[in-house]
Amino acid sequence: MDRIVITGGAPLSGVLPISGAKNAALPLMIASLLTGDTLELANVPRLADVQLLLRILGNHGVDHTVVGRRPGESAETGQTLRLCASTVIDTTAPYELVSRMRASFWVIAPLLARFGEARVSLPGGCAIGTRPVDLLIMALERLGAQIDIDAGYVVAKTPKGLKGAEIDFPKVTVSGTHVALMAAVLANGTTVIENAAREPEIVDVADCLVKMGAKITGAGTARIVIEGVPRLSGARHEVLPDRIETGTYAMAVAMAGGDVLLEGARAPLLQSVLDTLVAAGVTVEPTNEGIRVARNGAGIAPVDVTTEPFPGFPTDLQAQLMALMTRAEGASRIRETIFENRFMHVQELARLGAKIRLDGDVAIVEGVERLRGAPVMATDLRASVSLVIAGLAAEGETTINRVYHLDRGFEALEAKLTRCGAQVERVRG
């Protein structure tokens, strides 16, 4: 099994390109099931989750091609996919595929909307919380779907087609909003989604659906209105830059020190994160080319943060911030409100010398003068990259095991960090 070895102490400098957003690319790929025409997606990151979703879509009969490289594209700057669901041969998504990636459950929405039926495996548990699908099922039922649970599968049918309705989510749900949006675009009549997720990835998917012929207003607000249309066509769409990758590398620069341009990053996608970094004493400067992040000599100030739905501080950057705060000059408090089991990285950070105390949903991080390299184990995607950030500043060598988690969400991580001066090496085996 591969592992990553980091020799800490090297500052970062140069230009680091930001990839397309995984959390937009996956639902955009699933949206290809809504039309028999070709959907072309540019700036799709080269990730294990993307490859797995291509397998899942292929199981339904979706053809895909990877377009040859274009000017400006490289192994670090994404790929262009063409997806065509003109001949869908199977509306069942089997357990052996869905169990490997929760987002694949979302295929239930376009399959049901376009073909009137879907049989999709329940995704099961997750290392960072149960994340049930009850709100997704509720949204489909509001649109007129008949839902049964049979031997671990959600069986959805709509003999007379979906019908527009009001969907009022009791809590903000990104997955529920994605599912409701994809189901409603082909429903008969008007659908109103209340308490909708406002994440930029929701807006990106809505923008693509509009290019395909959908009628959507309000994406990016808490109230989205969809006028159903009979069919959608093909389109070309470029995936927006990954705000989680942007925040991750911004914290890496803050941790290691140095001066890096995060090329292609957009500040409005993660303003709460940038504000937090500024409060920690980091220089953050949006430019026409991206976002410049620098810390040269100054210490890291402690900050208090609570994770919240967008536009608040994202849960997907909580672990990375915790790694950064292990070197702050004082105590920080990080409250996790989104997932109930997302402090699994704490024990691994402690192996590097971090001082972190847990009190319910709050982590109190006492900054230390130095971290020391050690073997550590990745527990999930975001936790694994927090260990990379810590390793960049740790004395000596840090070995991160189970790095397949990293491959799910970070494109060319070693190459990007190495080009900026980090000593990072992947050891195969």
Sort strands 79-84 and 290-295 into parallel, antiparallel or unpaired: unpaired
What residue numbers does the annotated binding site cover? 22-23, 102, 131-135, 316, 338
**HEC letters along 217-271:** ECECECEEEEECCCCCCCEEEECCECHHHHHHHHHHHHHHCEEEEEECCCHHHHH
Give the list of residues 6+ apart from residue 48 with CB closer than 8 angstroms, or none: 404, 407, 408
d(CA 140, CA 323): 39
d(CA 177, CA 109): 11
What residue numbers does the annotated binding site for phosphoenolpyruvate cover? 22-23
Give 63's strand partners. 84
Give 85's strand partners. none
**HEC letters along 38-62:** EEEEEEECCCHHHHHHHHHHHHHCC
Q: Residue 242: name the closest of 278, 284, 199 by CA.
A: 199
d(CA 117, CA 108): 8
Torsion of CA 328, 246, 28, 108, to 10 degrees: -10
Q: Do residues 428 and 37 touch, judged by C-beta distance below 8 A?
A: no
Q: Do residues 85 and 36 touch, judged by C-beta distance below 8 A?
A: yes
DSSP secondary structure, 282-322, as one string: -EEEE-SSEEEEEE-SPPPPP-EEEB-STTSB-GGGHHHHH
148's tokens: 């049964």
Catalytic residue among 84, 126, 208, 420: 126
> Is 126 an active-site residue?
yes
Q: Give me the sign of the Cα torsion angle 325, 328, 334, 338.
A: negative
Q: Is residue 325 packed enough to be buried (19+ CB in 10 Å), middle (13-18) or exposed (0-12)?
A: buried
Cis peptide before 309 (omega within 30 of 0): no
Q: Is 187 helix (H, G, I), strand (E, B) or coil?
A: coil
What residue numbers does the annotated binding site for UDP-N-acetyl-alpha-D-glucosamine cover? 102, 131-135, 316, 338
Q: Residue 199: name the closest of 49, 293, 284, 316 by CA.
A: 316
366's tokens: 């006492």
Residues with catalytic roles: 126
